[in-house]
Structure 1
Amino acid sequence: MDTLFNKPASPVAEQAPPKSLLEIAKIIFLSWEKLRIGYLAILILITLVPSLLAPSEVWYSVRFWVRLAEGAVLANICYFAGPIIETYWTWLGFRGSWLRIVLFIVGTLFACLLALGVMATLLLHGMDHLD
């Protein structure tokens, strides 16, 4: 007979936990891919708004576009820190929905600070160092 006390706390508790590191990583990385859209949208806004306020010669600078491309690649590489850390913690046996949320928020804020720093160096230094 099912009672309040012998029922699983959540539907997740009824499922068998993944057995291998590969299975754990697959589930976590697929979940993080859904968050990537929001991450990239935030970073695009952080870089686009200052760029639109910049003088028009900035848009014709090769250096500007190279730095934006470098920043985009770096942001995507850094994004992998979140699912890697979560996979490791899950593999060690720690489970919690808070971990993904905290990692995403802290990582996104850090990436925003880096993006603003790059934009500041490009836009506030007179643009005389750009090609």
Structure 2
Amino acid sequence: MYGLKTFALVDARMCYTANLEIYTGKQPIGPFAVSNKPTDVVKCLTNEISETGCNITVDNWFTSLELADYLLQKNLTLVGTIRKNKPEILPEFTQTRNTEISTALFGFQKNSTLMSYVAKKNKTDLLLSTSR
């Protein structure tokens, strides 16, 4: 079985695909080599809409503080779930064993907000958001 993996920049309000990138896997060194790092994929997809003030919503494969800071420089904001193993996340946000269910912890840094939410016993969700 074969398939194509694509990354898409889609306008949620208009249901319009603004940009597509096809995942090409590891490329040989040369003029057509493309990085498939999550941050580089988002940078490529959002290049045409920089300075528009749009909000970019992504899943935890893409979300990082590095990407959030880059998008803010391009007048774009970011909302996304974030993986617990990211080095920029303090342990207080991931170690929630004795925390009550349905509680939230917020962290603020310049233009970024990190929220840790305990949805179930031993299950914590993290959300990163930026604003101008």
TM-score (norm. length: structure 2): 0.25
Q: Which has the higher helix share?
A: 1
**Larger RCO (alpha carbons 8 Å, 6+ apart):** 1
Higher strand share: 2
Q: TM-score of the superposition, structure 1-length normalised? A: 0.25
